[in-house]
Copies of this chain bind each other. A is one copy, B any other.
């Protein structure tokens, strides 16, 4: 089957259109890679470039964009509201189809080694590629930001995974890793009482003892309903249907029904197939039985 890996690097430039275009072009001109989306934010002064390809292709494209970022971005004059450590701030590799998480971790480690060897950027590995449990979460790694790097790297607990313990003079440090695709998933309740959604969210989210790899909060939807707004960080750990059903059963305790749910943005085919499989009690169902997935085989 064709390998599909998504890569969504974040660069510390959200204002100069020519720089953002140069980064996107570096990705788009890499053979075997398909540019999906470029999003930039002026107040964050940051852009996110989404692309897919096979593992070799996305690693080459990420390196090509990193080369341009080092040429064009100077972190010493960078300001923005979003925490950041470097010109090439973070590079996540995301297995979508036909590729294992292990292979993405191996590729992330190789990409980190290249960033140091070619561009002299020290690298931290995070998420599934982390070398220590304290380095799994981006917020922990980002503490102190670019300006605090000289002090942070001098601490033996924060020696980079690759390279010398000194930030690149203009590009800082890069965080490279592998993670599952995030699914932004909301369940709207047949009530306007946001307190109900907040109580359900507390039961659902991992941080208060709920479902693993789930972030959740109770909010009011644009249409005025109480909404349990979730990020499903790993659909192989907590699938969409399990999140839905826990919200549904918790809502029933308040005499509240689920009105509807919604996926915001993209969802991998495997997560959709998992939901159909679970509800239909499908036995022996494989992704390759889906005609379009079969067509993507090589």
Residues in A lying within 8 Å of B, measured CB to CB:
4, 6, 34, 36, 52, 96-97, 181, 188, 240-241, 244, 258-263, 265-269, 272-273, 275-276, 279-285, 289-296
Q: Quick one: closest B residue to A284, CB to CB? A: B262
Contact with A240, one of B4, B181, B188, B280 (Cβ below 8 angstroms) = B280
How many copies make up the complex?
Answer: 2
Q: Are B290 and A262 in contact (CB under 8 A)?
A: no
Residues of B within 8 A of A244 (CB): 280
Residues of B within 8 A of A268 (CB): 290-292
Residues of B within 8 A of A97 (CB): 292
Contact with A260, one of B96, B266, B281 (Cβ below 8 angstroms) = B281
Cα distance A36–B296 in the bound complex, in angstroms: 12
Q: Are B289 and A263 in contact (CB under 8 A)?
A: yes
Q: Quick one: closest B residue to A294, CB to CB? A: B266
Q: Are B281 and A259 in contact (CB under 8 A)?
A: yes
Contact with A282, one of B34, B260, B289, B290 (Cβ below 8 angstroms) = B260
Cα distance A200–B244 in the bound complex, in angstroms: 30
Given A265-B289, A266-B289, 6 other A-B residues pairs in contact with their CB atoms under 8 A: A241-B280, A244-B280, A262-B283, A269-B291, A272-B273, A275-B275
Residues of B within 8 A of A4 (CB): 291-292, 295
Residues of B within 8 A of A265 (CB): 289
Residues of B within 8 A of A266 (CB): 289-291, 294
Q: Are A267 and B296 in contact (CB under 8 A)?
A: no
Q: Quick one: closest B residue to A270, CB to CB? A: B292
Cα distance A283–B260 in the bound complex, in angstroms: 6
Residues of B within 8 A of A296 (CB): 292, 295-296
Cα distance A293–B241 in the bound complex, in angstroms: 21
Q: Which of A52, A263, A266 has the most CB of B within 10 A?
A: A263
A27 to chain B, nearest CB (A): 15
Q: Are B269 and A292 in contact (CB under 8 A)?
A: yes
